[in-house]
Amino acid sequence: MVVKPVGPAFYQLDLLHLGVSRVVTGYLYRDPVETVLVEPGPVSTLQTLLADLQALQVRPEALRHVLLTHIHLDHAGASGHLAEIFPNAVFYVHPVGLSHLADPTRLVNSARRLYGEDLGRLFGLPRPIPFNRLIGLKDDSRLKVGGRTLAVYHSPGHASHHAVFLDLETRVLFGGDVVGTRMPGVDSVRPPTPPPDIDVEVWRETINRIRSLRPVVLAIAHAGLHADVEFHLSELETRLERWAGLVLASLEAGRTEAEITAELRAEGDAAAQASGGEGDLGRWQQAMPYELSALGLIHYWRKRRPQLVK
């Protein structure tokens, strides 16, 4: 259990994915009447999350709002389990994600194609959420939850069904994966680019939209809080463009998936080591494996340039 208070009634939760710190982070507003949880994480970290909620004395009836940036299992996988434990909780997600949370069969099948037999160990298996406890998020709307007002913005790029939440009082932006992955204290940011719907052009637009919102802190799932917002977004944009260009050039040169993965690993690890992150390489790989980042960008380019498909 690692619960870190970071503001009035605001907590950062290190969910200790596979027992490792600084890989998966959740966030919580503890209001006397209704508690708000952002990013509940996967089923594999559910017991850590429940211990955190108990330590914060969150009563079962008090958890009212669970905000999901998107439906990938490392972010939203525990939601159905929480629905069974916390009877008053409702779950907010991009409209595209509603049917997948009500019936996660297709979501699980898609994840199993990527992770194979490791799926259960890494993330666990989600359970369905009753449809009447799901709320679709409208773009540029407002949520009044837990004594806060959060602005909602659709934010595709990493996933077509991604949304971010901006606390209008503190200007903390809960950015999920569209604001990248970064280890605390390390001046290097990576774009998580797994299949199936990475879109580099749209992602660039989302980064610019987030800039225009003028957040002062980025709260990301992998991992933690980062206050150097413009540096962070610029690093993310630069590396997204670099990786997309690297993968395109490698595909045009006829390189294999394994060779492209090795090139991404060499580039990303060198950048991390130059920025003080040598000790975090394993955490980064755990949060977003290079193999999947390469596969997502390969898929992206082959959809746009069919001549690259062998």
Model pLDDT for residues 13-25, shown as the tens digit of each residue: 999 999 999 999 9
pLDDT at 280: 87
User: Does 2-308 carry CATH code 3.40.50.300?
Assistant: no
Nearest to 46 by CA among 6, 88, 85, 97: 85
Burial class from Cβ neighbours inside 10 Å (0-12, 13-18, 19+) for residue 242 reads middle
Domain ranges of the chain: 2-308
- The helix/strand/coil state of 221 is coil
For the chain, how many helices (H) and strands (E)? 11, 13
In the predicted structure, residue 35 carries a pLDDT above the cut 90: yes
Cis status of the peptide bond prior to 274, with omega within 30 of 0: no
Model pLDDT for residues 95-107, shown as the tens digit of each residue: 999 999 999 999 9
Token reading at 151: 């602005």
| Mean pLDDT calculated for residue range 50-78 | 96
pTM metric for this prediction = 0.96
